Amino acid sequence: MCGRYATTRSPSDLSAEFEAEPAEDLPELDPDYNVAPTKVVPLILERRSSEDPAAKHRLVKAVTWGLVPSWAKDRTIGNRLINARAETLAEKPSFRAAYAKRRALVPADGFYEWYASEKRDAKGRPVKQPFFIHAPDRSTLAMAGLYEIWRDRSLPEDDDTAWLWSFTIITTTATDDVGRIHDRAPMLVPRDRWATWLDPDTDDKDELARLLVPAAPGALQAYPVSREVNNVRNNGPQLVEPLALEDEPGAAEEGEQPTLGGL
């Protein structure tokens, strides 16, 4: 799964990188090195123009992490829908409508996963070491997502607070190397497929399914980071600073220095 990630690019930088317009209600978002569910973060999506339904606009919008389907009775369901399995998107009631028309890109510097080492704490439980997983060149990861718009029917329709925009991150099987840390990983959309993925008119299920694959070998790197990231109240660039690797997922060959550089 993907339960924490970092996103530090400014809305203006994301607008330029993804060739997207800032949404009218887009606030100035601070860099976040410890994004957790329920936080409001930037999302890239494509919407039809209200003035011209034939026109579409790619937007940077601030959206809440944790998808709330339009049919939900209340927003608390979003706490359980932070990830969506790529294998069942077209069938699951929580995701199939969004998968058909409301696909998104979740920009990230990288994401965190935890590896259960052989060490034990005072209660005999495995000590989990967080790893930060990122592109080798530190470029922005475009994680695949879905978004929904939910209305709180206890409030008037013209009340801005009655409407919640929310999203989920799509996960797929991790590559063999990434799988040493965790068996699932966010699905990444290559730049040359952004337009296809975001376009609400893309309805070829076979074409969409071809995008739902693990990251190509060598597309990601990982290194261990401070356990400070375990507490969502902690934030700042120190969370992504590398630590000396104490416990390597997978044994190194005899006489070889362990490394998790290229995944």
Tokens found for residue 234: 């902690």
Q: Is the separation of the CB atoms in 226 and 246 below 8 Å? A: no
Q: What pLDDT does 177 receive?
A: 59
3-state secondary structure of 208: helix
Please give the pLDDT value at position 254: 33
SS3 198: helix
Residue closest to 166 by CA, chosen among 154, 152, 151, 149? 149
113 a catalytic residue:
yes
> What pLDDT, on a 0 to 100 scale, did the predictor assign at position 1?
67
Domains in the chain, please, with CATH?
A: 5-111+133-217 (3.90.1680.10)
Spell out the residues 6+ positions from residue 109 whose beta carbon is closer than 8 angstroms to its own. Answer: 5, 6, 7, 8, 9, 33, 134, 138, 140, 141, 240
The pLDDT score that the predictor gives to residue 137 is: 95
pLDDT at res. 214 = 78
pLDDT tens, residue order, the chain (263 aa): 689 999 999 999 999 999 999 999 999 899 999 999 999 999 999 998 877 777 899 999 999 999 999 999 999 999 999 999 999 998 999 999 999 999 999 999 999 999 877 778 788 888 889 999 999 999 999 999 999 999 988 888 888 788 999 999 999 888 755 667 877 889 999 999 999 999 999 988 888 888 887 777 788 999 999 999 999 999 999 999 999 765 444 433 333 323 333 33
Position 246 scores a pLDDT of 54
What 3 state SS string does 5-33 have? EEECCCHHHHHHHCCCEECCCCCCCCCEE
Query: CB 63: neighbour CB atoms within 10 A?
Result: 25
How confident is the model at residue 27, as a pLDDT? 92
Question: Is 2 considered catalytic here?
Answer: yes
Both structure tokens of 117: 């080492």
Query: Of 51, 113, 157, 228, which residue is the catalytic one?
Result: 113
- Gap between the Cα atoms of 188 and 134, Å rounded: 11
